[in-house]
């Protein structure tokens, strides 16, 4: 999002900053979410920059960051029309960033997608074209010719940071006649609802109304760790892509079909039909049993729930039961188990717990609801 013109290039000195980092030492920061029934969940960051446009690092750093974070899919989307490092790093081939990243990633299980950022005034603003064949062919004076060439190359095209104050000082997303024309011609397929550290609530409304794929991206220019405070427990915004297979074609098919959820500042944003199976796959009841007090069985059921994801789930209790050790709002921390002490009043062999998931959003101020079926261990 930020068009950086004065940042120092740091790719030469990065090896001196972290000379002894090993991938095996980074497992605690790897992003993990469970697969869905019939789909693999691929962690994707599809909007990133290097020194080949207005970023501050060499492409190998983007590959290393992705490996550290457990990212499955990346795209280096350099600006086609904005090249602030040109005097220092002249290059005629707009495919070079992708080619280098592809080479650096060849020995790892990382999918590198060929992409570029169409950089125009609003409207239409900035857009990413993914799965392109030749970025050089996208350079045209007329924006519509660039979009049409991208489509000709089979690209998936999405609207970047539609709420960016650099192009709209109100920070809101407005659908223009130009965007409507792009959609009508099949030249716009998705929209970022989160970009870097911003959330575009109007973009989510537009995505739902026009069946655009929902995306969340880092739009990173400098270092992931700096911008998102990874050492302090932060995470980069990503798109969870629900693919039929772990391949570039699998990612492409899923994006065109809209099977995504964005993860941003611990919030999950997407269509309800994908949020619910993601949450249900994340939260698994390990066991449930009635608590003993001395030699007497109480009517307090201890329900042990394991969270198999990196999201901290915030749940609002909508059940018929209340909790012995918690209020109506409960927190399920990532990759660990939480015990809920449920006051069932009488001894039951089974019951339901119903929750509204507050850190998940499928429409403006709308949160998905889930049900956990509890079976008491004999």
Tokens at 28, concatenated: 């605690």
- Residue 243: how many other CB atoms lie within 10 Å: 27
DSSP states of 304-369 as a string?
Answer: EEEE-SSS-EEEEE-SS-EESS--SEEEE-TTSEEEEEEE-SS--SEEEEEEEETTEESBTTB--E
- CATH number of the domain at 356, please: 2.60.40
Residues 206 and 347 in one domain: no
In a domain, 8, yes or no: no
In a domain, 15, yes or no: no
Question: At which of 226, 248, 270 does a domain end?
Answer: 270
Residues 181 and 35 in one domain: yes
Q: Cβ(140)–Cβ(146) under 8 Å? A: yes
Give backbone dihedrals phi and psi of 101, rounded to 5 degrees, phi first: -60, -40
In a domain, 256, yes or no: yes
Residues 209 and 289 in one domain: no
Residues 84 and 227 in one domain: yes
Q: Which residues contact 167 (CB under 8 A, 6 or more apart)?
A: 121, 122, 125
Find the DSSP H helices in 14-95: 14-17, 59-69
Question: At which of 244, 270, 296 does a domain end?
Answer: 270
Please report the sign of the dihedral spanned by the C-alpha atoms of residue 92, residue 97, residue 98, residue 104: positive
Residues 181 and 239 in one domain: yes
Specify the pLDDT at position 24. Answer: 41
DSSP states of 257-299 as a string?
Answer: HT-EEEEETTEEEE-HHHHHHHHHHHEEEEEEEEEEETTEEEE
Residues 156 and 47 in one domain: yes
Residues 70 and 170 in one domain: yes
Question: At which of 245, 270, 295 does a domain end?
Answer: 270
Residues 310 and 261 in one domain: no
> Could you tell me the pTM of the whole model?
0.92
Regions in the chain scoring below 70 on pLDDT = 1-27
Specify the pLDDT at position 21. Answer: 39
Q: Which residues contact 249 (CB under 8 A, 6 or more apart)?
A: none
In a domain, 3, yes or no: no
Residues 300 and 262 in one domain: no
- Residues 56 and 6: their CA atoms lie apart, in Å, by 10
Give backbone dihedrals phi and psi of 209, rounded to 5 degrees, phi first: -70, -30
Question: What domain count does the chain have?
Answer: 2
In a domain, 279, yes or no: no
Please report the sign of the dihedral spanned by the C-alpha atoms of residue 362, residue 256, residue 140, residue 101: positive
Specify the pLDDT at position 16. Answer: 34
Nearest to residue 370, comparing CAs of 278, 234, 262? 278
Rama region for 367: left / alpha / beta (φ>0; ψ in -120 to 50; rest): beta
First to last CA, the chain: 57
Residues 84 and 184 in one domain: yes
Q: Which domain holds residue 313?
A: 284-375
Q: Cβ(230)–Cβ(253) under 8 Å? A: no
Specify the pLDDT at position 10. Answer: 42
CA atoms within 13 A on the CB side of 257: 14
Q: Cβ(124)–Cβ(162) under 8 Å? A: no
In a domain, 25, yes or no: no
In a domain, 275, yes or no: no
- Residues 11 and 163: their CA atoms lie apart, in Å, by 30
Residues 189 and 303 in one domain: no
Residues 179 and 100 in one domain: yes
Tokens at 231, concatenated: 């050492």
- CATH number of the domain at 40, please: 3.20.20.140
- Residues 352 and 128: their CA atoms lie apart, in Å, by 44
Nearest to residue 50, comparing CAs of 224, 234, 167? 224
Q: Which helix (H) or strand (E) holds 122?
A: none
Tokens at 34, concatenated: 């469970």
In a domain, 198, yes or no: yes
What is the strand order of the sheet 322-323 is part of?
A: 283-293, 296-307, 337-343, 322-323
């Amino acid at each position: 999002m930020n068009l950086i013109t004065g940042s120092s290039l740091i790719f030469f000195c990065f090896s001196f900053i972290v000379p002894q980092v090993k991938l095996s030492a980074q497992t605690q920061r790897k992003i993990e979410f469970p697969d869905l029934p019939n789909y693999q969940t691929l962690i994707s960051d599809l909007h990133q920059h290097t020194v080949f446009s207005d970023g501050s690092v060499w492409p190998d750093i983007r590959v290393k960051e992705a490996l550290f974070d457990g990212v499955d899919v990346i795209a280096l989307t350099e600006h086609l029309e904005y090249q602030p490092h040109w005097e220092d790093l002249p290059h005629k081939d707009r495919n070079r960033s992708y080619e280098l990243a592809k080479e650096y990633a060849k020995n790892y299980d990382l999918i590198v997608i060929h992409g570029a950022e169409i950089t125009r005034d609003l409207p239409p603003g900035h857009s990413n074209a993914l799965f392109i064949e030749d970025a050089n062919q996208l350079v045209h004076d007329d924006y519509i010719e660039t979009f049409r060439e991208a489509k000709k190359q089979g690209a998936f095209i999405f609207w970047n940071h539609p709420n960016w104050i650099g192009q709209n000082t109100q920070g809101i997303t407005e659908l223009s006649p130009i965007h409507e024309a792009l959609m009508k011609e099949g030249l716009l397929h998705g929209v970022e609802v989160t970009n870097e550290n911003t959330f575009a609530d109007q973009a989510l409304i537009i995505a739902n109304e026009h069946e655009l794929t929902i995306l969340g991206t880092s739009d990173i220019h400098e270092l992931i760790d700096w911008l998102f405070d990874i050492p302090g427990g932060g995470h980069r915004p990503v798109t969870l892509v629900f693919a039929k297979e772990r391949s570039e074609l699998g990612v492409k098919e899923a994006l065109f079909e809209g099977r995504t959820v964005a993860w941003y500042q611990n919030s999950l944003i997407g269509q309800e039909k994908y949020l619910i199976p993601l949450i249900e796959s994340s939260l698994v009841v390990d066991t449930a049993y009635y608590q003993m007090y001395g030699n007497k069985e109480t009517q307090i059921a201890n329900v042990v729930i394991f969270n198999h994801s990196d999201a901290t789930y915030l749940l609002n209790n909508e059940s018929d039961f209340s909790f012995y050790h918690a209020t109506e709002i409960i927190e399920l921390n990532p990759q660990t188990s939480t015990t809920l002490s449920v006051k069932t009043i009488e001894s039951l062999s089974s019951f339901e717990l119903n929750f509204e998931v507050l850190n998940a959003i499928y429409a403006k101020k709308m949160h998905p609801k889930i049900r956990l079926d509890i079976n008491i261990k004999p």
